[in-house]
């Protein structure tokens, strides 16, 4: 591990000329300049938003030839690493056999069987292409089986779906009817009383309770069992969003790690190592309502043309096999722990432990950026991103993948250590002397 406070060497200026030109064209043809708002140019320092042309393992290269150690790959979707050989080989072998048919392919059954061997709280699974469809399918199913309209979501967690029922709860709710927005209520993480109060205020009206088991703050000992008990007491469906925690906290997800049994759970991201595949899984008595082997009123659960896309399922199977046969989760935790320790030591050496806290489980770290008064600051976040990009680190989060090496971790700590010198100076003599452009902006904002 590199030692903090070593002299900072002058940097050769990193050029983003071609990326900047491509970003202008992206903005002209694609609303927001990206197909995912969280990847947008406005999420990065001005004129320093690299457009990626290739990746390998934990490294990526942009249109200007700059090389970066990348964290949070694919918004946490690339858990094994870019171009992971076993996954690419499985998809490549499947492609010549056809990718989509008028009837289910055998691989759909094989992938379902493999998935359910890992996610043991579930009896049935249905695959789709993104997390939003999976979570929204869970909402529809919960409303159907309970006959209720309201949904309770954890209001301290940032994202559950692109559909109206959730986006209507954000500041970016333009175009969503107020009637839809009125059907969702929020409770607070680690606050059972806030959820209990919702059940009391809306008796026999809440269909589902939706949350991630954990973000940066771990659950208290009583929180998740208490959520389960409240749902049982009031007849609501417990939906666990495992998009981020699944195949990262444990091979069986955060539900296995925390020993909590949801009624329905939703997976994606790490399931396919960057390929487009997600899943809604759950108890048979609920999931079968989306099928044809019962005499109850049916639910149009999930029906996607590309849900059974064979090469994506082949990639998912290869990804899950890798989790089963190699120490993926253990490595994610170990690499993250090494990174967290190094960054905390470097921050402390610069007197920045309060300004740049390293948060979350080792397998899914983020860093904070706070001003002199200890308040979260978009200006100081931008400064950190700016200084890290200059040093070849692309890190809007600190989420590792299986391909990050110990050398990657050491180089990242070194880059943070050097960036902390600028951060400290900005605290002392004003950030305007050190920040090159406009600050990054929140995704959920009503105006540009």
Instruction: Provide the 3-class DSSP secondary structure of residue 370.
Output: strand
- 384 occurs within a structural domain: yes
Residue 119 placed within a domain: yes
Residues 259, 394 share a domain: no
Q: Is residue 92 part of a domain?
A: yes
φ, ψ of residue 294 to 5 degrees: the values are -155, 170
| Distance, CA of 230 to CA of 160 (rounded, Å) | 21
What b-and-e string marks burial along 319-349, b requiring 16 or more CB atoms within 10 Å of the CB? Answer: bbebbeeeebbebbbbbbbbbbebbbebbee
Instruction: Say whether both 222 and 355 belong to one domain.
Output: no
Q: Is residue 305 part of a domain?
A: yes
> Left if phi > 0, otherwise alpha if psi is -120 to 50, otherwise beta: which for 76?
left
pLDDT the model gives residue 12: 73
- Cα gap 193→223, rounded to integer Å: 10
Tell me: do 192 and 317 sit in the same domain.
yes
Domain boundary among 300, 325, 350: 325
**Do 95 and 26 sit in the same domain of this protein?**
no
Q: Are residues 143 and 60 part of one domain? A: no
Instruction: Confirm if 140 and 300 have CB atoms less than 8 A apart.
Output: yes
The reply to whether 78 falls in a domain is no
Same domain for 311 and 384, yes or no, is: no
**241 with 188, same domain?**
yes
Examine the domain organization and report whether 91 and 154 are in the same domain.
yes
pLDDT for the residue 6: 52
State the burial class of residue 10 (Cβ atoms within 10 Å of its Cβ: 0-12, 13-18, 19+): exposed
59-62 and 52-56 as β-strands: parallel, antiparallel, unpaired?
Answer: antiparallel
Same structural domain, 139 and 237: yes
Q: Is residue 398 domain-shared with residue 418, that is, in the same domain?
A: yes
Task: Give the pLDDT means over successive 10-residue stretches in the chain (448 positions).
Answer: 48 90 97 94 96 98 98 96 98 97 97 98 97 97 98 97 96 96 98 98 98 97 98 98 97 98 97 97 97 92 94 98 98 98 98 98 98 96 98 97 98 98 97 94 92
- Measured distance between the N- and C-terminal CA atoms of the chain, rounded to whole angstroms: 42
User: Residue 7 falls within a domain, yes or no?
Assistant: no
Cα separation, 445 vs 283, whole angstroms: 37
User: What is the bridge-based pairing of β-strands 278-282 and 124-128?
Assistant: antiparallel
Residues 261 and 248 in one domain: yes
Q: Domain holding 22: CATH number?
A: 3.90.1150.10
Whether 75 maps to a domain, the answer reads no
Last residue of a domain, one of 271, 297, 325: 325
Continuous segment of H or E residues that includes residue 420: helix 406-429
Which of 282, 304, 325 terminates a domain? The answer is 325
Number of domains composing the chain: 2
Report d(CA 251, CA 240) in Å as an integer. Answer: 15
Closest CA to 215 of 343, 339, 71, 364: 364
Q: Are 130 and 163 in contact (CB under 8 A)?
A: no
Residues 269, 76 contacting (CB under 8 angstroms): yes
pLDDT of residue 3: 44
Q: What is the DSSP letter of 15?
A: P
Helix residue ranges per DSSP H, 171-214: 178-181, 192-201
Q: Are residues 230 and 130 in the same domain?
A: yes
CA distances from 315 to 84, 318, 401 (A): 10, 5, 17
Does residue 321 sit within a domain?
yes
Which structural domain range is residue 147 located in? 85-325
- For position 237, what pLDDT does the model report? 98
What's the CATH number where 283 sits? 3.40.640.10
d(C-alpha 215, C-alpha 212), whole Å: 7
């Amino acid at each position: 591990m590199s030692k903090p406070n070593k002299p900072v060497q002058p940097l050769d200026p990193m050029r983003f000329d071609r990326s900047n030109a491509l970003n202008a064209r992206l903005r002209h043809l694609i609303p927001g300049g990206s197909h995912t708002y969280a990847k947008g140019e406005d999420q990065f320092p001005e004129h320093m938003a690299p457009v990626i042309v290739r990746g390998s393992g934990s490294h990526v290269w942009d249109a200007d030839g700059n090389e970066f150690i990348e964290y949070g790959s694919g918004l946490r979707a690339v858990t094994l690493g870019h171009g992971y050989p076993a996954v690419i080989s499985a998809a490549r072998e499947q492609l010549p056999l056809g990718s989509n048919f008028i009837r289910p392919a055998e691989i759909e059954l094989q992938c379902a069987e493999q998935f359910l061997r890992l996610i043991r709280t579930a009896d049935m699974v249905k695959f789709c292409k993104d997390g939003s469809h999976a979570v929204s399918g869970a909402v529809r199913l919960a409303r159907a089986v309970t006959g209720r309209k309201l949904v309770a979501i954890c209001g301290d967690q940032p994202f559950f779906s692109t559909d109206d029922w959730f986006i209507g709860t954000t500041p970016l709710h333009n175009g969503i009817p107020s009637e839809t927005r009125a059907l969702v209520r929020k409770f607070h993480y680690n606050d059972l009383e806030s959820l209990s109060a919702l059940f009391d205020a809306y008796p026999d009206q809440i269909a589902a309770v939706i949350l991630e088991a954990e973000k940066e703050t771990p659950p208290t000992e009583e929180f998740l069992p208490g959520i389960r008990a409240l749902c049982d007491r009031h007849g609501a469906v417990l939906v666990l969003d495992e998009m981020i925690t699944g195949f990262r906290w444990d091979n069986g997800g955060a539900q296995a790690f925390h020993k909590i049994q949801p009624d329905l759970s939703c997976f994606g991201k790490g399931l396919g190592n960057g390929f487009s595949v997600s899943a809604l899984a759950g108890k048979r008595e609920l999931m079968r309502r989306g099928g044809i082997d019962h005499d109850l009123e049916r639910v149009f659960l999930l029906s996607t043309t590309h849900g059974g896309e064979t090469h994506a399922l082949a990639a998912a199977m290869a990804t899950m096999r890798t989790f089963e046969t190699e120490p993926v989760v253990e490595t994610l935790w170990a690499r993250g722990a090494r990174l967290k320790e190094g960054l905390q030591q470097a921050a402390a050496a610069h007197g920045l432990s309060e300004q740049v806290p390293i948060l979350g489980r080792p397998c899914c770290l983020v860093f904070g950026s706070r001003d002199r008064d200890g308040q979260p600051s978009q200006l100081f976040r931008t400064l950190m991103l700016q200084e890290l990009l200059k040093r070849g680190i692309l890190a809007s989060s600190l989420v590792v993948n299986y391909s990050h090496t110990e050398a990657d971790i050491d180089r990242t700590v070194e880059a943070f250590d050097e960036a902390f010198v600028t951060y400290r100076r900005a605290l002392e003599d004003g950030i305007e002397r050190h920040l090159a452009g406009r600050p990054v902006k929140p995704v959920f904002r009503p105006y540009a």
